């Protein structure tokens, strides 16, 4: 099943969609948050009648095991350049609730730009091992994509000590990216804190926001996730995503709960 | 009118509030986005029955001139530690739609922390001139708070060339901050790009997300806003807010449209 097919819901009637959380996009039986947002976001983009995400926010309410879900969408405002949509994915109870603005990035002006940094050059991703999924750890979802870690951030070989996770990701079978794919990419890499001193345990995300800045070219994305502050039991994770042409395609930020120490 | 009173809505019935956009919190007749989010967010926190914001996102749909508004809140999930609420502020049409999670920061653990940077020391805010509001520029809202700019970022004396805006803010009459006040603080400083080469014009915000990391102490907040990327007609603005005790109290990010060149 392609990523496109694994994230496409069908419209039952205005504002009501039936989707499916496909098997294998999970971490210990519950679908990855970026994948859940991609399923929801694709229905939202269709409701908005726009091809691209401008910005989307998800709040993760309950785990999402594989199976059928319903998605309710409501247009908050249909504008010329942006359409704003609210959505909730549920199965009996709410799994995820989202708010997003959708646009057509091909029609947005790109005559003035300022880049404080350019796309990083970390060498060839094929020089790094592909992370392979297991039933537990690494989780099944990494088999649905091709993820390679920057050699200095490969915590499987030992944590770097820096709460940062850099690497590459591509879809399988050379499937091209679209802006919905960036929602997946924003949440598939291992948590930054696996490279720091906070233990390797499930990190529950409260909220994730992704700004899509350009429509991504096919091929490898270069991604960098960094955490700067752990306080009040929270940790944020900031992401930058660059496409194979070196364009900045997305910025992400999520706020998560720090895992409690294992007793 | 205190900030507290200028942002408190009254409950009509379950999930329905009457609020007021008070006069003077505006930029050219339309209320500041951070102020609108504070009014909406305070109703959401009351609906959630939690004292603090954990994370809140606003999409700005239409301008908000002074006057009465209605706020509809809906609980997406009432949990033990977090309650998630959707809300829309409207007057005939929707002005702002929001999604947030609320908590009690006093009950959150603070036994483990990691800070990549400490609160900055920029000297004494009283050594810098207070920005005073006018009918147009600077806008009226700066008279409702006490804002001082870092001397290197005071674009009124000439742009620095760096898309950054640092400074201090306090409420009037020593009114203490609460976590709702941080929503205001996240959007009151002049846009970062006034210090760069993109012209001084209204910068329409599409989306603003604020993560409140600790409940703020009374007194001056130190705030730093930075933009790293202008692309596709968008500019993001990342904020850090520190309280008078030197605690990190909030992180913010907004995505805005770059103003079009004046013809």
Bridging pattern class, strands A52-60 and A16-21: unpaired
Tell me which residue in B61, B247, B255 faces A76 most closely, judged by beta carbons. B61
DSSP-derived secondary structure for A127-140 = GSPBP---SSSS-G
ipTM at complex level: 0.97
| DSSP structure class, residue A154 | -
Nearest-Cα distance to chain B for A225, in Å, is 14
| Chain A with chain B: Cβ pairs closer than 8 A | 167
Looking at residue B196, its pLDDT comes to 92
- A20 by Cβ neighbours in 10 Å (0-12 / 13-18 / 19+) ranks as middle
Judge: A112–B230 Cβ closer than 8 Å, yes or no. Answer: yes
| Chain B residue with the nearest C-alpha to that of A78 | B61
- Which of B233, B238, B239, B242 should we substitute to test contact with A (largest number of A Cβ atoms within 10 Å)? B233
- In B, which residues are within 8 Å of A195 by CB distance? none
- In A, which residues are within 8 Å of B77 by CB distance? 61-62, 94
Looking at residue B263, its pLDDT comes to 47
Nearest-Cα distance to chain A for B113, in Å, is 5
- In B, which residues are within 8 Å of A76 by CB distance? 59, 61, 88, 94, 97
- Residue B180, CB half-sphere, CA atoms under 13 Å: how many? 22
Q: Is the pTM of this model over 0.95?
A: yes
Tell me which residue in B108, B211, B258 faces A236 most closely, judged by beta carbons. B211
Nearest Cα residue to B187 out of B127, B157, B147: B147
Judge: A213–B231 Cβ closer than 8 Å, yes or no. Answer: yes
Judge: B55–A255 Cβ closer than 8 Å, yes or no. Answer: yes
A62 contacts chain B (CB < 8 A): yes
CA dihedral A50, B70, B210, A64 (to 10 degrees): -60
Distances (CA, A) of B168 to A172, B55, B208, B211, B241: 49, 22, 20, 19, 9
CA distance B214 to B70: 29
Looking at residue A260, its pLDDT comes to 74
A98 contacts chain B (CB < 8 A): yes
B104 contacts chain A (CB < 8 A): no
The answer to whether A70 touches A16, Cβ cutoff 8 Å, is yes
B114 contacts chain A (CB < 8 A): yes
- In B, which residues are within 8 Å of A113 by CB distance? 229-231
Structure tokens at A7: 């994230």
Planar angle of CA A219, A223, A227, nearest 5 degrees: 170
The answer to whether A223 touches A203, Cβ cutoff 8 Å, is no
- In A, which residues are within 8 Å of B196 by CB distance? 114
CA distance B22 to B31: 8
B54 contacts chain A (CB < 8 A): yes
Tokens 């705030």 correspond to: B223
Looking at residue B261, its pLDDT comes to 67
Judge: B231–A101 Cβ closer than 8 Å, yes or no. Answer: no
Nearest-Cα distance to chain B for A114, in Å, is 5
Mean pLDDT by 10 residues, chain A (263 residues): 97 98 96 98 98 98 98 97 98 98 92 91 98 92 97 95 97 97 98 88 93 97 97 95 97 93 57
Judge: B99–A101 Cβ closer than 8 Å, yes or no. Answer: no
* Positions in chain B whose pLDDT score sits under 70: 261-263
SS3 B46: helix
- Give pLDDT tens digits for A220-260: 999 999 999 999 899 999 999 999 999 999 999 999 999 87
B90 contacts chain A (CB < 8 A): no
How does A233-256 read in b/e, with b if 16+ C-beta sit within 10 Å? bbbbbbbbbbbbeebbbbbbbbbb
B228 contacts chain A (CB < 8 A): yes
B78 contacts chain A (CB < 8 A): no
- Residue B196 pairs in a beta bridge with none
- Give pLDDT tens digits for B100-153: 999 999 998 877 888 999 999 999 999 999 999 998 889 999 999 999 999 999
CA distance A51 to A4: 13
Tell me which residue in A99, A214, A227 faces B231 most closely, judged by beta carbons. A214
Looking at residue A113, its pLDDT comes to 87
Nearest Cα residue to B114 out of A205, A259, A163: A163
């Amino acid at each position: 099943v392609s990523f496109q097919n694994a994230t496409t819901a069908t419209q039952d009637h205005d504002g009501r969609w039936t989707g499916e959380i496909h098997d294998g996009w999970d971490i210990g039986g519950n679908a990855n948050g970026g994948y859940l947002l991609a399923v929801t976001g694709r229905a939202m983009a269709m409701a908005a009648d726009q091809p691209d995400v401008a910005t989307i926010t998800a709040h993760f309410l309950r785990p999402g095991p594989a199976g059928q879900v319903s998605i309710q969408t409501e247009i908050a405002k249909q504008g010329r350049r942006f359409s704003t949509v609210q959505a909730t994915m549920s199965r009996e109870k709410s799994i995820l609730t989202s708010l997003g603005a959708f646009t057509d990035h091909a029609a947005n002006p790109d005559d003035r730009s300022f880049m404080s940094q350019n796309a990083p050059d970390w060498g060839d991703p094929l020089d790094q091992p592909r992370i392979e999924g297991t039933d537990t750890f690494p989780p099944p979802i990494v088999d649905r994509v091709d993820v390679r870690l920057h050699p200095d951030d490969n915590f499987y070989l030992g944590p770097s000590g820096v709460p940062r996770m850099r690497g590459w990701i591509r879809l399988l079978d050379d499937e091209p990216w679209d802006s919905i794919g960036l929602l997946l990419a924003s949440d598939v890499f291992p948590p930054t804190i696996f490279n720091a001193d906070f233990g390797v345990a499930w990190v529950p995300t409260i909220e994730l926001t992704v700004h899509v800045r350009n429509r991504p070219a096919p091929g490898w994305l270069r991604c960098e996730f960094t955490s700067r502050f752990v306080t009040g039991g929270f940790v944020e994770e900031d992401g930058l995503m660059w496409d194979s042409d070196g364009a900045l395609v997305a910025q992400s930020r999520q706020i998560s709960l720090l895992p409690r120490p294992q007793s």
